[in-house]
Amino acid sequence: MDRVKDSISQSPILQCSIFDSYYVRPQTLKSYRFFALFAMTIICFFTFRNLYEFRHLTGWGEVVVEIYFIFISLCYFIYKDDKTPSSQSPFALWKMAHLFGVLAFTLQIFIPLLYWGWVISTNALKNREEILLTITTHAITASIIWVDSAFNKLEYYPSHAVFLFVFCTVYTTANYIVSKAVGIPVYKALNWEGIDSIFKVLLGYLIIYLGFGLGWYLAKRKAQKIQIDESDSKYLNVENMEQI
């Protein structure tokens, strides 16, 4: 019976908390998420005044970040800060918030690397508005989700990697269709004219999954560090009591 209880307590579903935080109080993280939702809404509004911008992966990444903060904000109202939301449906809001949080961090590792390391060399920024938009979409958006990820307790599971693959496949297909339909590649370096394009896509997948691996590693490291700090604290408290 004890083994059953232990296995239940270690269940990823029950262990997952979308409200808990590391290093800061949960209320602080909650306030930051509402601020982030406001900021991302403004960024998306200015980005998608021209819907053609949605052809870029940057636009998809912004939408994922926006959806994450929408879902996580709704969770605070729906679940009333419960540590373990009761619904176990695969499409429960708290699970979708968790999933989009993982996807958002992963994409916002890949997108800045892609843009600042590759795409920007093929795109000349023509005016101040383009420069501001570039910084906002390829730096500020990433920073917003990085801060949340530094303090949240979202864990990374194999099922998230599957959803990430589906997302990447859908975007790759959309990129190909738009490039062929319009007659102009979405990205100049990805023209879909030879086998080198396939290798570039595969390289992109690899980098994205390295970002996923980074998120998984950082989540584990945060958990381990907190456990070590708590163990040291308990040890010091016991030692002090013995001295008293």
b/e map 146-170, b = 16+ CB within 10 Å: eebbebbbbbbbeebeeebeebbee
Whether residue 143 is predicted with pLDDT greater than 90 in this model: the reply is yes
CA dihedral for 171, 70, 103, 80, sign (positive or negative): negative
For residue 24, give the amino acid letter: V
Say what the pTM is: 0.82
Q: Where are the domains of the chain?
A: 22-243
Digit-coded pLDDT (tens) for 186-195: 888 888 988 9
53-107 pLDDT per residue, tens: 788 898 999 999 999 999 999 998 888 655 556 666 667 888 999 999 999 999 9
Residue 104's alpha-carbon distances to 107, 109, 144, 202, in angstroms, are: 5, 9, 10, 20
pLDDT of residue 48: 81
Confidence of residue 33 (pLDDT cuts 50, 70, 90): very high
